[in-house]
Each structure stands twice: as C-alpha cells, then as structure tokens.
Amino acid sequence: MASKLLASTLRRTLTKATASSTTTHHLSTAVTAAPAFDSFEDDQNGITMKGVKIAGRPLYLDMQATTPVDPRVLDAMLPFLLSRYGNAHSRTHLFGWESDLAVETARSQISELIGASPKEIIFTSGATESNNISIKGVMHFYKDKKRHVITTQTEHKCVLDSCRHLQQEGFEITYLPVRSDGIVDLDELRAAIRPDTGLISVMAVNNEIGVIQPMEEIGEICKEFKIPFHTDAAQALGKIPIDVEKWNVSLMSLSGHKIYGPKGIGALYMRRRPRIRVEPLINGGGQERGIRSGTLATPLIVGFGSACEIAKKEMDYDHKRVMALTDRLLNGIREKIDGVVINGSMERRYAGNLNLSFAYVEGESLLMGLKEVAVSSGSACTSASLEPSYVLRALGVDEDMAHTSIRFGVGRFTTEAEIDRAIELTVNQVVKLREMSPLYEMVKEGIDIKQIQWSQH
C-alpha cells in the first residue's frame, strides 16, 4: 500500500515537471535528496562522506540510537500526510474530525501497551521533552514543600541535565551510584529519601548497557514513602512487558523512534489516581490538557500508535528472535578472540543491547575500523565526545576498558547474515589492532601490565 501511494504521487509530480522541463529526474526520493549534501559522494567505487570512504551502506546495528520505521507503520501514516491532513483541533469539519479520531485511536494503542488509560497519555515531541516536563514540571509545581530529587548516575543525559538545571535553581539532587552490574542498590535508594524528596527518577532500561532496573521494587519504596516515581522508559517500550500499575509509576517518558515508529514524536504517561501535577514548560492553546500546548502532529502520532500496536502483538516473537541473534553475535566473537568483557548485568538486561569492551584495543581506532558496521561507543546523544562513557565509569569500569566499549544494537529487522558479517569484521579489526599493540604482546608473554611502574619523561 505504501509503495503504491508513493509511486502514484511521484509519477504525477514527475510527469508535470517533465512537461515543462527537460531536466532528468530520479525516481527515488532518496537519490533526489542525496545531491543536497555537498560532502556526500556516491559512485561505483563506494560512498564517501565526512572524509570516510566505504564500499557501500554499512549494516545497521545501532538500534538503541534509533530504529527503522516498520513498513506497516508507514502504511498507517501515509493517508494523514497525503489526503487526511486536517488539524486534529479543528472541530467544525470532517478533516478535523477524522484527524482527532486518529489521534485518540493512537492514544488508546499506546496506553494498552503499558496498561494505562488513554486519558493518562500526553503527546510530546519525544522522550527528552517528556523527561524535562516530568522532572522540572513536578518540582516546580511542588516547590514550596519539595526541594529534593533522587536519580542515578547512569541516567540519560537529558535527565541528568534537567536535574543540574534544578540545582541551579536551588533544588538538591542525590545522584545514586550503581553496582558494578549497573543495578541500583535498593537499600541506598531507601536511605537517600528525605522528608522533602519530591521525585525519584530511575531509567527502566539503560540506553548504553541495556540493564533492566528492579522497577516493581523501586515502585514499592516510592509508594511506601508517598513519593512520585518517574521513569524514562524509551528503551523499554515494546521490548519488555510494562505495567504502570505493577511498577507504581507516576510519570513515564516514551519515544516513537525506538520502537520502529517515526522520529519527532513521544508521549508522557501521567497518573490520574492518585493524581500527579506538573507545571507546563510550553504555554499556548491549551492542547493536551494544557500540559503540552501546540498543534498535534497527526501523522507522527498515528505512526507511534501503530508501532505500539505492532509491538504489543509481536513482543514475544521479537524478544526470542533478538535474543537468539544477540547470543549468536556474542558467541561468535568470543569463540575467536579473548579479552572480551560484557558491560552490565547478564541476568537483568534487554537482549537487543550488547555492550562489549575489548581489552588492549584503542576504542576510536576500533570504531573507525568498523566503517562497514553502524555501531556506537555509547549514547547517540554523547557519542561525539571522546571522553569515556560516564555510564561505564559509574559501573567502575577502568578508563582504558571504557574507551574500548562498543554497543551492538540488534532489532526486529536484523538478519543472521548481518550478525555473521559483524562478527567477521569485528574480530578482524580487533586482531589487527592487537597486532600493533605492545601491551598485548606483553600480556601474551605473561607480563602483568598492571604491576608495571611506568615512568614519565
């Protein structure tokens, strides 16, 4: 359906254009857009971009950064981009009515995936905005009585930065450490609670190492002390079962593009009973109960809802398949090279996130050598930094090992052939770099390099 609509629209557009011009047009929208990037060159010898030349498009194993849009999601979105383009807030004609109905349908699809009521779903631009509303909004609303927030050192950057923003306003923040497996210590969490604690924020599934926090246990502690519980569930949605009642969360941040939906759309779950209140960050027309004003992006919302509906139906199948592929990747690498360390808990983790450190290898060199595999060394929001991952440092990982970490993200559309190719390329590059490493040579000779006293010149 999607391909037929696109082809029909493109044919009509290109026919009109060629009637008045003899310029050659590409039938592919991707090819048409490509020349707009001056730094991009695509020829028979390969692709060159940002000074890097590769044989072709790399295989994609960075599913924690973003996921491809499921074709079924695109099919659901297209009518609202081409013909049903009404404003969902227009109450006087059919275009507005059908868009409003589509928005409310998506609201129900999202709420069903997390065990909530559709009335508890607020649409936002993404999980970053939802996190900001949750943390700043709650504390600003209750600022006269509550001045303290508890979070962890391994949260997403937007949570940590929101907390730092509150610190500048005079609020106090406790950044809890985590154990070496990435899991928060519940006794330390309980001990950190104060009479003026207004919010506890803990990420459900970590974006860098994939560990799953004990959400039900944290929720019980929050319920015992009557403290609102917020979680960034962007990496959990559609991948592990979520029940807002069992978790006892008051606020939950969600994202569309992490579950094969479109970018630029997210949601915030806000509990109604007991009611949680926030101060809006955006003022305007009062949409979304006044919490998030602005015209709703109907096509994106429809896509988000469709992605949630698909995830609900296929979660078990996806989980088993992703787990098998991740095991294949890990075993394939470990069978051929030593010194491979898994970062984070193996017992409590999402299967599609495999964060590995390779001993005696320089991380940036490894990443650059893996040009044919799209992977990252940590969060996409901080991957431009050459500093070692703050998440791995919080786990107590040595700086040299933190520098060598690679995050492999396996997803719904990953194939066995891609996994096997990733194994081959990774092993070859690690072996190549170790051959150039004097440290690795010393280790093979039985020298304990940690006992060496290095002199400075």
* Tokens describing residue 129: 């905005």
Q: Which pLDDT band, with edges at 50, 70 and 90, does 378 fall under?
A: low
Q: Is the pLDDT of residue 9 over 60?
A: no
pLDDT tens for each residue of 404-418: 999 999 999 999 999
Q: Select the more confidently predicted residue: 176 or 12.
A: 176
Q: Which positions are catalytic?
A: 381
- Measured distance CA(202)–CA(349) in Å, rounded: 15
In percent, the amount of the chain with pLDDT more than 70 equals: 86
- The pLDDT tens digits of the residues spanning 217-248 come to 999 999 999 999 999 999 999 999 999 999 99
pLDDT of residue 276: 97
Tell me how far CA of residue 328 lies from CA of 235, 240, 371, 415, in angstroms.
Answer: 22, 21, 21, 11
Express each pLDDT in 165-175 by its tens digit.
999 999 999 99
Strand pairing category for 121-124 and 52-54: unpaired
Q: What six digits make up the tokens of 82?
A: 């081409």
The predicted pLDDT at position 24 comes to: 38
% of the chain surpassing 90 pLDDT: 76
pLDDT for 43: 64
Kindly indicate the confidence band of residue 49, based on its pLDDT and cuts at 50, 70 and 90: confident
Residues 6+ apart with CB under 8 A from 244: 114, 115, 116, 120, 252, 269, 271
Determine contact, residues 98/84, Cβ cutoff 8 Å: yes
pLDDT at 26 (0 to 100): 39
pLDDT at position 451, please? 63
Q: With 60 as the cut, is the pLDDT of residue 30 above it?
A: no
pTM for the predicted model, two decimal places:
0.88
Does the pLDDT value for residue 366 go beyond 80? yes
Query: How far is it, in rounded angstroms, from Cα 442 to Cα 432?
Result: 16
Type of residue at 351: A
Which pLDDT does position 438 carry in this prediction? 75
Lowest mean pLDDT among 92-96, 106-110, 147-151, 437-441: 437-441
In this prediction, residues 371-387 reach a mean pLDDT of 70
Question: Quick check: helix, strand or coil at residue 41?
Answer: strand
pLDDT of residue 161: 98
- Single-letter amino acid code for the residue at 6: L
pLDDT at 22: 39
**Model confidence pLDDT, tens digit, residues 262-273:** 999 999 999 999
Helix, coil or strand: residue 316:
helix
Contacts of 117 (CB under 8 A, 6+ apart): 111, 272
Q: Encoding tokens for residue 234?
A: 């962007």
268 touches 167 (CB < 8 A): no
Q: Is 437 left (phi over 0), alpha (psi -120 to 50) or beta?
A: beta
Mean pLDDT of 383-407: 85
The per-residue pLDDT for 25 is 38
Does residue 41 have a pLDDT over 70?
A: no
Residue 65 — very low, low, confident or very high, per pLDDT cuts 50/70/90?
very high
Residue type, 359: A
27 or 305: which leads in pLDDT: 305
Query: For the residues 135-161, what does the mean pLDDT come to?
Result: 98
Residue type, 178: V
Residue 46 pLDDT grade (very low, low, confident, very high; cuts 50, 70, 90)? confident
